[in-house]
Structure 1
Amino acid sequence: MSIPQITVAGNQVGRIGYGLMQLTWNPKLPAEEVSIKAIKAAADAGSTIWSSAAFYGNPGDNFANIQLIANFFKKYPEYKDKITLVIKGGVDYQNLSTKGTDLDFLRTEIKKIKEILGDKEIDVFNLARLPEAPIEEIFKGLVTLQKEGLFREIGASEMGVESLEKALKITPIAINEIEVSLFSISDPKIKETVEWASKKGMPIFCYSPLGRGFLTRAFKSPEDLPEGDFRRMVPRFQGEAFYENLKFVDKLDEIAKAKGITTGQLALAWILHLSPTTIPIPGSSNPDRIKENISAANVKFSSDELKTIDDFLAKFEVQGTRYPGAALTQLMK
């Protein structure tokens, strides 16, 4: 499948990426052969930039996502040069606390990732969350590790405009990973960051572009969420907020149906129209759904269609926050 391209870390990649988190950090894991087929389907459909992390694994199996990627490349070595890997780290696996200023921790972590990946290099490394320290100090540390040859380029995650401007005085930033979706764009910091990045030409990795499954009606009620699923703690998925937010999806369904596409495709295509630097990273273990998602890169909107969506977004107030209260303090710093 041919889809529009964008340059990240010096590589040409598809405008829709692939998020691998749910393949290994999930109460109900797919079998590895299922995940391998899904990963190949993503690459073959044009999704050539992937999002992973050193901690995307169930308890006791922190590097599971990295190992899965390594196993994929062992089976299909011809894909190594086609894929750009963006990997997050800097998180203590026991309590998920930030370790972004602990160079010994980061060095050990990254070397472990490289050991697992073998001769497939880390194209971009970024800290999943910023520690409580000056931005300049944090990124000078990352530059030190970069100069040691541990990864090619430095990325960012959950960073707002003020922090990004400080970081850019220290080093180029290959990509910034933040939550961007029809659900989240009402957050002023997210909107500001997308607009700023567009002017700067900085790629934005848009995680949870389908609202963690909400926009595709993966669940009909809060009770449908599996035990142990992170979304059981997310206010947006709780109680009355869940049912109020379904009204948001009802309207999107109407707009998508009129255009002859799925609501998921509508959501992904809308993100692409926000800015020339946005890269949504939907995740799935279903090859057909993956191909459907990636085909959204070729969906075009008329000015009237975009106005319909934007007018609706301006009127509807999404209920509930996108993370539990305490976690919100770590976002968009």
Structure 2
Amino acid sequence: MNNNTAGAARTPLGGSGITVRPVGLGLMGMSQFYGAADPEASVATIRDAIEAGVELFDTSDYYGASSATPGRPVAGFGHNEELLGRALRGRRDQAVVATKFSARPTPEGRSFFDGRPEYVRAACEASLKRLSTDRIDLYYYHRLDPAVPVEDTVGAMAELVAEGKVRAIGLSEVGPEILRRAHAVHPVAALQSEYSLWERGVETAVLPECRRLGITLVPYSPLGRGMLTGAFSRAAAFDRDDFRSTLPKFQGENFEHNRRLVDELEQFAAGTGNSAGQIALAWLLAQHHDIVPIPGSRRPAYVRANLAATSVALSADDVALLGALFNPSRIKGGRYGTLNTLPSASDD
């Protein structure tokens, strides 16, 4: 049975002492990659999420800095953090704020990664101002800078913890070796990586290493960028400023094939009285009590529906059946296309 029900224990973020309710909210789509969003509506959605019981809010200084198509207008570097800062005025103590650094845009609409210790400090100070707060609860190294040893970057993050500007540190999209090296410098509370019924690459080596080290996994895109909700018909078309238009899983025959698998998920969900998206989240939560998915949504009703997944109980047989339905060998299309400016830098 899934032990992450509405009355279940809170989920710890590694050994940091921070605990959260087991479904958070990814905010990236409020600033980029999935078409235009209304800032006022986004602020209202965040505030409604707080009222509904969401605690972990995931942002990045980069969200807003690029579009799905290079050269298209963007909201601007730091836009997403500013949105969250506005939404949390008078509500800061009700939220666990997670943000990220290292990804930086180029004038050409591409990206590079900066892990220099001096940049870590500068990025943190800038994020604190945009968020209108005196501390970041969970600070992620967004993507590795290949020119800087991870020990140097994490060492600078550890200094921010010692100063009280950061409560806990995390990494994103790294493998077991980097996790071990980083954790040896300072305890890593969380790893953020893509994980869902239809993207399960972390299961082989990354998730076991997280569990060995006591690191919480924070899956982004836990609803397969919306696919696992059943929201898209076979005739769905994605605009150029929608990130999914560049992704192999959403194109042509791959999309049609994958949509048929979602049909089966919807049939299963209907038999339980839940939505397909709620079943997809419940499957993740049933893996272990060390996973905090951060589905993204711009609508309060969807945020509340996602949070309700914590009350969905799946038997061991249900979990196995769903896992077999979305066995990686049955999914068509890779994770990313050739036009993506920041590979895997999205929440949902």
**2:54 aligned to which of 47, 50, 56:** 47
Residue equivalent to 2:157? 142
Residue equivalent to 2:313? 300
1:141 Cα deviation (Å)? 3.2
**Contact 1:51 1:85 survives alignment (8 Å):** yes
Residue equivalent to 1:114? 128
Secondary structure, counterpart of 2:193 in structure 1:
strand
Q: Aligned partner of 1:91: which letter?
A: A
CA RMSD of aligned residues (A): 2.5
1:241 Cα deviation (Å)? 0.8
1:80 Cα deviation (Å)? 0.9
Gaps of 5+ in 2: 66-73
Residue equivalent to 2:80? 65
1:57 Cα deviation (Å)? 0.8
Residue equivalent to 1:126? 140
Q: Does residue 330 of structure 2 align to residue 317 of structure 1?
A: yes
**1:244-323 superposed matches below 5 A:** 244-314=257-327, 317-323=330-336
Q: Does residue 20 of structure 2 align to residue 13 of structure 1?
A: yes
**1:128-277 superposed matches below 5 A:** 128-132=142-146, 133-185=148-200, 187=201, 189-221=202-234, 224-277=237-290
Structure richer in helix, relative to its length: 1
Q: Which has the higher contact order (CA 8 A, sep 6+)?
A: 2
**Contact 1:3 1:46 survives alignment (8 Å):** no
Distance 1:218 1:277 in 2: 28
Distance 2:164 2:211 in 1: 29
Distance 1:72 1:331 in 2: 26
Deviations 1:234-287 (A, max 9, x none): 111111111111111111112111111110000000000112101110111111
**Contact 1:222 1:242 survives alignment (8 Å):** no
Distance 1:97 1:235 in 2: 23
**Contact 1:157 1:177 survives alignment (8 Å):** yes
Deviations 1:131-164 (A, max 9, x none): 1143323322322444454422211111222211
Distance 2:126 2:49 in 1: 26
Q: TM-score, normalised by structure 1?
A: 0.90
Q: Aligned partner of 2:143: which letter?
A: R
Deviations 1:282-303 (A, max 9, x none): 1111111111110101111112
Q: Aligned partner of 1:215: which letter?
A: L
Q: TM-score, normalised by structure 2?
A: 0.86
Deviations 1:167-216 (A, max 9, x none): 1111100111000100111x2x4443223323443211110000001111
CA change 1:26–1:309 in 2 (3 A) is closer
Distance 1:121 1:322 in 2: 34
CA change 1:316–1:209 in 2 (3 A) is same
Residue equivalent to 1:22? 29
Between 25-34 and 322-331, report the one with greater CA deviation. 322-331
Gaps of 5+ in 1: none
Distance 1:134 1:258 in 2: 51
Distance 1:60 1:251 in 2: 38
Deviations 1:110-139 (A, max 9, x none): 211111223352111111111114332332
Distance 1:129 1:183 in 2: 22
**Contact 1:3 1:295 survives alignment (8 Å):** no
Secondary structure, counterpart of 1:250 in structure 2:
helix
Q: Aligned partner of 2:133: which letter?
A: D
Q: Aligned partner of 1:214: which letter?
A: M
Q: Aligned partner of 2:87: which letter?
A: F
The size of the alignment, in residue pairs, is 326
Residue equivalent to 1:89? 101
Secondary structure, counterpart of 2:292 in structure 1:
strand
Residue equivalent to 1:36? 43
Secondary structure, counterpart of 2:285 in structure 1:
helix
Q: Aligned partner of 1:153: which letter?
A: A
1:218 Cα deviation (Å)? 3.1
Deviations 1:15-66 (A, max 9, x none): 0011011011145333223112211222222210111000111536111111
Q: Aligned partner of 2:25: which letter?
A: Y
Secondary structure, counterpart of 2:286 in structure 1:
helix
Distance 1:26 1:331 in 2: 12
**Contact 1:222 1:232 survives alignment (8 Å):** no
